[in-house]
Amino acid sequence: MTAYSILDRSLVRRGSTPAAALRETVAFAQQAEELGYHRFWVSEHHSVPGVAGSAPTVLAAAVAAATSRIRVGTGGVMLPNHRPLVVAEQFGVLESLFPGRVDMGLGRSVGFTGGIRKALGHGKDDADRFGDQLAELLGYFTGTQDAYPGVHALPAEGSRPEVFVLAMGAGADLAAEHGLPMVIGGGARMLDAVARYRAAFRPSGWAARPYVMVAVDVAVGANAPEAALLQLPEAWATVRSRTGGSFPPLVPAEEIARMELGARERAYLDEALKGRIHGTRSEVAVALGTLVETSGADEVLVTMNTYDLDRRLDSYRRLAELLTG
């Protein structure tokens, strides 16, 4: 049976604060646990006005402390921004405090702008070192890293959080090479990447077989127009980031629906909404069934943010009811 999990990016809402967004994430994780979702992941973004999630391991610790059963992790820690030793130590602490519940999702993105990359002390070329960094990081957990002889990551050594690689760029190939589960967004290149990953997968101490998690935006409503409306705030913030250079706080969906958009903005909005799944429970069931069947996904990572928190929770509750029959 396909597992379903949640990724939350701690988006800020207009009139609110980043601190409130972080508290909302923790509360949302508690609700996700009650609804029966398998995992709850948080993300890493830097210097983005509309995103409060900048320190995923810190936030994951808060989420894990506020829950008791749901798996907690990162989707993901952007490894080029950090030293592998520090990442191993952080997850070693998490796994020690919350044994059997910690996921280490890893990505290869670097800061979006030159200023952010300089502030982080890294450049665009650091993404090309992701493979070496990944090998070093895994070695700290197994006690086999040889980049720095005599260096041990404590208390990580000997512990085993579940490790996932975000399939950005060469991510699918590296996941297969190291025998790790892979996370990939639905899209035109998804099936090719999944096929390549499965064909090249090498069983390891981390995973005996390929494991594919597909990430997709899903909104469930009483009717299709209501569900489509839920996806407007985040899609519109994406448009604003492309036209204005910055991802802003979310605004109400109805406000966006009333806007008179120019051709350029409409094209960007249509692009931002592409690939998202929305509709009634029966319509979403068909769409998700098709996605799982075509991709062979072992798990679906659901993400959906909207301005109204109650409406967001209602969508996730409807989805959970759909999944439990």
| pLDDT score, position 105 | 97
Which range is least confidently modeled, 14-18, 69-73, 170-174, 309-313?
170-174
The structural domains of the chain, ordered by start, are 3-213+296-323 (3.20.20.30)
For residues 193 and 188, give the distance between their C-alpha atoms in angstroms, rounded to a whole number.
10
Residue partners of 253: CB distance under 8 A and separation at least 6: 229, 230, 232, 233, 306, 307, 308
Which range is least confidently modeled, 106-115, 163-172, 229-238?
106-115
Residue partners of 117: CB distance under 8 A and separation at least 6: 110, 111, 123, 124
pLDDT value at 323 more than 90: no
User: Within a 13 Å sphere around the CA of 76, how many CA atoms are in the beta-carbon half?
Assistant: 27
Q: Is 191 in contact with 212 (CB distance < 8 Å)?
A: no
For residues 175 and 166, give the distance between their C-alpha atoms in angstroms, rounded to a whole number.
8
| pLDDT score, position 111 | 64
Q: Is 234 in contact with 306 (CB distance < 8 Å)?
A: yes
End-to-end CA separation in angstroms for the chain:
12
| pLDDT score, position 112 | 65
For residues 276 and 221, give the distance between their C-alpha atoms in angstroms, rounded to a whole number.
14
Torsion from C-alpha of 81, 11, 31, 165, nearest 10 degrees: -30
Nearest to 94 by CA among 1, 162, 8: 162
pLDDT value at 60 more than 90: yes
For residues 84 and 73, give the distance between their C-alpha atoms in angstroms, rounded to a whole number.
17
Phi, psi of 163 (to 5 degrees): -110, 135
Predicted confidence (pLDDT) per residue in 179-220, tens digit: 999 999 987 789 999 999 999 999 999 999 999 999 999 999
Residue 240 CA from chain centroid, whole number:
21
For residues 112 and 122, give the distance between their C-alpha atoms in angstroms, rounded to a whole number.
11
Q: Is 168 in contact with 108 (CB distance < 8 Å)?
A: yes
Which range is least confidently modeled, 120-134, 246-260, 270-284, 299-313?
120-134
